[in-house]
């Protein structure tokens, strides 16, 4: 079974267990994840979220930048930025 086939076979319960294991650094039985297991599990979680088209706010790594008044903290990293070129005169 390759990685893509494995992601197709992941159930929501397995996804939740993998996500929790990555968060805590250990499996549900208490055994610690090796660095390789943690990296592979995180890849699987991200691939599952991408495959299932989960909303952005439900994905791993999402940071809610909304202030209590509804505005956003910081600037949109995908928005075009104006570049100023300063020259000496």
What are the tokens at 35? Answer: 């660095």
Confidence of residue 84 (pLDDT cuts 50, 70, 90): confident
Confidence of residue 88 (pLDDT cuts 50, 70, 90): confident
Domain ranges for the chain, please list them.
Answer: 3-58
CB 44, CB 50: distance < 8 Å: no
Q: Determine what percent of the chain is predicted with pLDDT higher than 70.
A: 100
- pTM comes to 0.69
CA distance 66 to 16: 26
Segment 58-83, tens digit of pLDDT: 888 888 878 888 777 777 777 888 88
CB 48, CB 7: distance < 8 Å: yes
Check residue 46 and give its pLDDT: 93
Say yes or no to pLDDT of 10 above 80: yes
Say yes or no to pLDDT of 26 above 90: yes
Query: Residue 42: enclosing H or E segment and its boundaries?
Result: helix 35-51
């Amino acid at each position: 079974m390759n990685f893509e086939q494995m992601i197709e076979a992941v159930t929501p319960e397995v996804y939740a267990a993998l996500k929790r294991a990555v968060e805590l650094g250990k499996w549900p039985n208490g055994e610690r994840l090796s660095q390789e297991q943690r990296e592979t599990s995180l890849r699987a979680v991200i691939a599952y979220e991408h495959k299932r088209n989960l909303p952005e706010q439900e994905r791993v790594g999402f940071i809610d930048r909304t202030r209590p008044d509804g505005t956003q903290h910081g600037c949109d990293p995908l928005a075009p930025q104006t570049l100023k070129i300063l020259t000496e005169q």
